[in-house]
C-alpha cells in the first residue's frame, strides 16, 4: 500500500512517500522538503503570506521529484494524507487543496492528518512500531507537550503542555537576543558546543514543589536571558547559549522522565524540531538510561517538518482502519493534538 503525505502547515513544503508493508512496517521511499525559511529570516519569523505563496510554487515540483526518487507513478498511490492542522490557515489550505485534487483525480481515499501526532509518527519510520503506551515529548516551534500515546492513529492524551512559549519559540527568541540568525535552534546548538553550560544558572520554569509537575514555562527563561544580556557589558555568546540550552534540556528531560516514571510508561519518544537538539537528546539518553526507560529520538531530518511523517501517520490511519475524510475537508489552524485525523 503506497501512501502519499503532504505537509504545508508552516514554512516547509514536504512531500513524503511511504509503503505500508503487509507486516505493518513502513518503508520510506521519498522525502522531499522545500523550505521558504530564507525568505522569512530577515523578518525573524514566518510571514504567513510569503509562506503560502512559497508552498504554491514548491508543491507540484516537489511531488514530481518525490515520485522520481521513489521510481513510482502517481497512479501507484493507494491513499493520501495531508496536514489539515494545526498551523497557518493559508499555508495549510495550499496542501489541503492539492491533496483533495490528487485524491479526486486518482480516486483514492484522503486522510486529513494532525501535524502533531505526525511528528511522533516520524519516529516509526526509523525505529519501527511504537509499543503501547508510550510517552511522547513533543518539542517544536509552536508546541511543547507531554503526550500519552496509546495508539498513534486513535488515542493520544495530553499529559502536560507549555503555559506560554514553546521550546522552539524560546530558541528563536533567545537567538535574536544574542544576534544569531533565524531559526535560532541550529545556531544556538552550534554556539553552545563551544560554551560552558554552567557559566550562568538560568531559571528552570515551573519546577517548584507546588507547580504543575508536567507543564512547562519558557517565557521567564527568555526574559532572564534578555536581562542578563542587558546588564552585562561583554556578551560571551557561547556561554549564554550553552547555559540557556542547558536550562531547556534540563527541564524538558526532568519532567518527561518524571511523567514516564509516575505514569508507569516504559518508552519515551522525543520529536518535533527541537528534538534535533544535540544536548536535549544526550541528556534524555542519560536520564532515560538511569530511570530504565527506553528512549527513541528520530534523526534530525525527521524531527523538523517533513512530508514523510505525514505519510507515516497516514499509513498508521490506513492500518488501523480509520475512516477517510470527507471531500469537504478544510484547514483547522487550531486543531487539538487529541484529534489525530479529521
Ligand atoms: P509546530 O510543529 O509546533 O507546528 P513548527 O512545525 O514550526 O511548529 P518544527 O519545524 O517542528 O516547528 O520545529 C521548528 C523549531 O525547531 C524552530 O523553533 C527551530 O529553532 C527548532 N530547532 C530546529 N533545530 C534545532 C536544534 N538543533 N536545536 C534546538 N532547536 C531546534
Ligand atoms: Mg519550519
Ligand atoms: Fe512541526
Residue nearest to atom 3 of ligand 1 (CA): 142
The C-alpha cell of 314 is what?
A: 497516514
Q: How large a percentage of the chain has pLDDT more than 70?
A: 100
- The whole-model pTM stands at 0.97
CA distance 228 to 231: 5
Asked if residue 271 has its Cβ within 6 Å of ligand 1, the reply is: no
Distance in Å, CA 46 to ligand 2 centroid: 8
CA distance 48 to 141: 15
Distance in Å, CA 236 to ligand 3 centroid: 31
Q: What is the pLDDT of residue 272?
A: 98
The C-alpha cell of 240 is what?
A: 549564554
- pLDDT tens digit sequence for 274-299: 999 999 999 999 999 999 999 999 99
- Per-residue confidence band for 44, with pLDDT thresholds at 50, 70 and 90: confident
As a residue count, the chain comes to 342
Residue nearest to atom 27 of ligand 1 (CA): 277
- Ligand 1 atom at minimum distance from 175 CA: 20
User: What's the order of all strands across the beta sheet hosting 155-161?
Assistant: 155-161, 144-151, 134-139, 267-271, 294-296
Q: What is the pLDDT of residue 220?
A: 97
Average pLDDT over residues 31-37: 97
Q: What is the pLDDT of residue 194?
A: 98
Asked if residue 205 has its Cβ within 6 Å of ligand 1, the reply is: no
Asked if residue 272 has its Cβ within 6 Å of ligand 1, the reply is: yes
As a whole number, the mean pLDDT across the chain is: 97
Among 83, 7, 45, residue whose Cα is nearest residue 171: 45
DSSP label of 306? -
Distance in Å, CA 304 to ligand 2 centroid: 7
Average pLDDT over residues 42-61: 96
Question: Can you list the alpha helix ranges (DSSP code H) found in the chain?
Answer: 37-41, 48-70, 89-106, 115-127, 167-177, 185-192, 219-230, 237-263, 278-291, 300-303, 308-319
Asked if residue 35 has its Cβ within 6 Å of ligand 1, the reply is: no
DSSP label of 4? E
Among 305, 312, 327, 331, residue whose Cα is nearest residue 84: 331
Q: What is the pLDDT of residue 108?
A: 98
Asked if residue 195 has its Cβ within 6 Å of ligand 1, the reply is: no
Q: Best of 13, 14, 140 to mutate for ligand 1, by most ligand atoms within 8 A of CB?
A: 140
Q: What is the pLDDT of residue 67?
A: 98
Residue nearest to atom 13 of ligand 1 (CA): 273
Task: Report phi then psi at 296, rounded to 5.
Answer: -130, 125
- Per-residue confidence band for 105, with pLDDT thresholds at 50, 70 and 90: very high
Ligand number, closest to the Cα atom of 169: 1
* Three-state SS letters, 91-108: HHHHHHHHHHHHHHHHCC
Write down the number of H helices and E strands in the chain.
Answer: 11, 10
CA distance 130 to 159: 18
- pLDDT tens digit sequence for 141-169: 999 999 999 999 999 999 999 999 999 99
Average pLDDT over residues 101-129: 98
Q: What is the pLDDT of residue 122?
A: 98
- Ligand 1 atom at minimum distance from 278 CA: 27
Residue nearest to atom 12 of ligand 1 (CA): 141
Distance in Å, CA 75 to ligand 1 centroid: 34
CB 62 within 8 A of CB 69: no
Amino acid at each position: 500500500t503506497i501512501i502519499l503525505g503532504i505537509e504545508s502547515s508552516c514554512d516547509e513544503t514536504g512531500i513524503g512517500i511511504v509503503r505500508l508493508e503487509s507486516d505493518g512496517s513502513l518503508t520510506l521511499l521519498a522525502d522531499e522538503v522545500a523550505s521558504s525559511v530564507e525568505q522569512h529570516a530577515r523578518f525573524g519569523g514566518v510571514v504567513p503570506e510569503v509562506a503560502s505563496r512559497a508552498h504554491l510554487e514548491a508543491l507540484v515540483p516537489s511531488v514530481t521529484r518525490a515520485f522520481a526518487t521513489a521510481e513510482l507513478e502517481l497512479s501507484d498511490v493507494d491513499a493520501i494524507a495531508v496536514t489539515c492542522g494545526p498551523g497557518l490557515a493559508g499555508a495549510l489550505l495550499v496542501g489541503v487543496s492539492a491533496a483533495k485534487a490528487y485524491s479526486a483525480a486518482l480516486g483514492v481515499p484522503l486522510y486529513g492528518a494532525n501535524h502533531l501526532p505526525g511528528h511522533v509518527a516520524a519516529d516509526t519510520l526509523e525505529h519501527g512500531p511504537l509499543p503501547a503506551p508510550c510517552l511522547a515529548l513533543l518539542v517544536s516551534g509552536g508546541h511543547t507537550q507531554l503526550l500519552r500515546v496509546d495508539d498513534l492513529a486513535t488515542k493520544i492524551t495530553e499529559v502536560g503542555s507549555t503555559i506560554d512559549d514553546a521550546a522552539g519559540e524560546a530558541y528563536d527568541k533567545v537567538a535574536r537576543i544574542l544576534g544569531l540568525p533565524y531559526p535560532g535552534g541550529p545556531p544556538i546548538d552550534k554556539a553552545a558546543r563551544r560554551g560552558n553550560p554552567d557559566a550562568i544558572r538560568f531559571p528552570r520554569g515551573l519546577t517548584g514543589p507546588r507547580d504543575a509537575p508536567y507543564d512547562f514555562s519558557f517565557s521567564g527563561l527568555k526574559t532572564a536571558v534578555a536581562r542578563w544580556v542587558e546588564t552585562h557589558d561583554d556578551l560571551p555568546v557561547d556561554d549564554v547559549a550553552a547555559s540557556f540550552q542547558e536550562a531547556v534540556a534540563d527541564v524538558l528531560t526532568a519532567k518527561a522522565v518524571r511523567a514516564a516514571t509516575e505514569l508507569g510508561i516504559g518508552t519515551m519518544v522525543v520529536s518535533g524540531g527541537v528534538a534535533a537538539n544535540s544536548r536535549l537528546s544526550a541528556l534524555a539518553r542519560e536520564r532515560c538510561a538511569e530511570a530504565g526507560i527506553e528512549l527513541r529520538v528520530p534523526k534530525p531530518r525527521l524531527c523538523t517538518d517533513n512530508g514523510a511523517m505525514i505519510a507515516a501517520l497516514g499509513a498508521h490511519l490506513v492500518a488501523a482502519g480509520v475512516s477517510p475524510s470527507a471531500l469537504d475537508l478544510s484547514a483547522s489552524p487550531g486543531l487539538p493534538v487529541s484529534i489525530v485525523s479529521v
